[in-house]
Amino acid sequence: MAEPIVGWRGRARYVRSILNIRTALNRGQPGSSSDWRVVWPGSAPKKRSVAAAALGIVVSTFLSEMNVQPILQCVDERLTITFVGGKFPTLLKAMARSKGIAPWLSSSGTLLAEIAVRTALALQEGAGWEICSNPECQRLYRPRRHVAEGRLHFCNDCGKRASWRLSKRRKSASVSQ
């Protein structure tokens, strides 16, 4: 079933405004009124603390509207928390009917759920949840300390081995260019 591009553009503006507000909060500001108009029904908050609380409500509502739900599943013989979009019983039925796309359905359910979860993860402060940077893993985990923005980070199972392998791949890719 195809969806109109207009709906996706509206969602993209919504997520962009959320991220812009988060950037403003990082600078100690409440965010621009134009961004708040996109995500908030009332007037834009004037104080940073009020804006942070309101942004929490906005993103929680976004997660709820996308029907994002956590599930615990066994992936590669490991229990892993995954967030799916849609109603869980419906996803299970779709996975049973469509063996070819079952791994994709079990990992996200919908693209909107994936966008909503990744947006929420981008907003968190401190050592919250992160997604392992190892392309073969990409499992959700809780790091021991805050992960610096733009840096690779790995779950305990991947750890230094994955870091070493990725650095070797990058070196060989840059040498071959």
Per-residue pLDDT tens digits for 152-175:
888 888 877 877 787 787 777 777
Integer Cα distance of 135 and 148 in angstroms? 19
pLDDT given at position 171: 77
Residue 42 pLDDT exceeds 80: yes
Per-residue pLDDT tens digits for 48-73:
999 999 999 999 998 888 878 777 76
User: At what angle are helices 5-26 and 48-65 packed, to 10 degrees?
Assistant: 150
- For the chain, domain boundaries: 1-63, 126-177
The pair of three-digit structure tokens given for residue 61, joined into one six-digit string: 């509502």
The pair of three-digit structure tokens given for residue 74, joined into one six-digit string: 């066994």
Instruction: Number of helices (H) and strands (E) in the chain: give both, helices first.
Output: 7, 4
